[in-house]
Structure 1
Amino acid sequence: MLIRKATDIHSSEITPKEAFFDRRKFVVGAASLGVGAIAASRISAVLSPGTSVMADEALKTVASKYTVSDAQTPFAKATHYNNFYEYGTDKSDPGRNAHTLHTRPWTVQVTGMVKKPQTVNIDDLMKYRPIESRVYRHRCVEAWSMVIPWDGYSLSEFINFCQPLPSAKYVQFFSLVDKKQMPDLPGGYDWPYREGLRMDEAMNPLTLLTFGCYGNVLPNQNGAPVRIVTPWKYGFKNGKSIVRFHFTDKQPQTTWNEISSQEYGFYSNVNPNVDHPRWSQGHERRIDSSVFPKTVPTLMFNGYGDQVASMYNGMDLKKFY
């Protein structure tokens, strides 16, 4: 695989991939050369980063039937290997930079095709339904994956609260954009970050309105104070730090699909049979407690086919990727 220099990459292209392979190249090279304690400590720093930015408030959760048997990714790795472009395009940037995000006060707007547009306070939103602890596989389009215990309740509960009109076919969500809180906001993107789901996808019980992980409120770099998790889709579908839900009868624009539609489709279901134009999606690097990430086959719908495949009956999943 050709790894280009950062200077060769246009702003419209995804950038963390190169940063990841730079690290991986170092790790593999160090292992093959048998370098000593200094190199070992550097490897440890890459694969087991510190936890200087942490969630500091425990959540009261109830047990959930949604879990997987896979080994969980350690908290330190899940909170220091992130995509959150508002705080930098390198995987380690959000963990260093997201401390500038202020999660209180915080409100979420409900707009579009609903019976009553309104604004909801985040604390009321968190109290609306019991918060469940769910262990989900999380697959990134860049071919790495994690297993994370998320805390929240089904997005369908909130959608029912919003009372969308029957004509609403999609829900779009918008992330916060604030240059004061995001002083290094990258150029070349049409902020704010936007994502969306078809209504049946949003109403699927797996789709999680997420307030925490590992039993604590969300760390800033993981999308505090509220985000979406759709475990059968690639990670960029899961909007972070959400400030608005908009209900519409038209397929909404989404950030990555708008930037590069040939690479990032609206549906973005995990499909090992449809490669990204620049790399294979057939395998993934599972980031867990091991020193060296292991490569495992990617599962159709990330292993959630029994719960979600019926929503796509009759669709050409190579065309509607």
Structure 2
Amino acid sequence: INSGYDDHSPVFNIEETIMVFTSKRKGSTGNFKTSDKQYFEDIYISHKENGQWATPQKISENINTMEHEASVALSADGNDLIIYKDDVGDGNLYISHFNGTEWSKPEKLSLNVNSTYNESHASISCDGSTLYFSSNRPGGFGGYDIYYSKRLPNGDWSLAQNAGPVINTEFDENGPFIHPDGSTLYFSSKGHNSMGGYDLFFAILKDDGTFSRPENMGYPINSIDDDVFYVLSADGKRAYYSTVQPDGLGRKDIYLMDLLSLPERSLVVVNGFIKIKKTGEVIKDVILKINDFKTGTLIGKFKPNKQTGKYTIVVPKSKQYTLSCDDCGFTFPREPLTIPENSSFYYLQKPIIIDPLVEIY
């Protein structure tokens, strides 16, 4: 994964089988060098094979250009990539979609998100409904602040809202990362009770839409050199980050930190494929719903990959759930997804192709 040049900003799908990262290594698309003798940034991708990361490849000619591109966030299913582009000093966020075969040309997010100032780091909630990002636009509490935007019914992003004074201070807040549980927001801050540089904090999104007071992550996370970009695994047991170390391969390298002392997350990751059993045909343009089996309460809506039919859902433990779809011409079996009461982090494979789908005429 690492090279003799800067390698940084790793992002992952929820299963940690896809890694996308940024590198200034030799062989960049434009082959141009910066003043520090490194190459312009390109984005690379690696897939985990038999427990090992495969040799990274440039992600796509549609994404990498002769300018700088940096990876910022990857959706839980690995199909949506948020990219940062400097845009001649006006840093903006872009999005590219993977259709199962290739990545689309990045599209600049609307003015509801981007401004004439710098939008840098970002993170998408697991259900794709909320985008968190950092910006130094005026009107905040000072320096870089954390903002969020909600996905509208038409797919666009709502006008960005400041996350408020509980999260943001007169100092810089940067590098937001919303955990797959949908409620734990991690971010780096020079304010709160940091030791002067950036420290990593977390806050809990409460039912009323406000955040709890941020807590410092402490040791071992905040024993790392000043860095604003961390990604935590779904089970809370691993943290990925980039830093310069004496025993590194070059400059900035990507590292994995084991957080075995922290409690395991009480989450369930449900994934599988949605295909018609008889033909193997992928069911396209489906909005997959997951509901509480007992109360019928809607937990969330998710869109599977249109090419492969694969879906990924994250839900709390100790409940039963049902899967269904909106206006898709099929009904799902009523058999509930049962999650053990005492489970912590839990993977549940639910290949819809195995369960018979009943056609409606």
Is the TM value for this pair above 0.5? no
Kindly indicate which of the two structures has a greater share of residues assigned to helix: 1
Highest RCO, 1 vs 2 (Cα 8 Å, sep ≥ 6):
1
Kindly indicate which of the two structures has a greater share of residues assigned to strand: 2
- Structure ID, larger Rg: 2
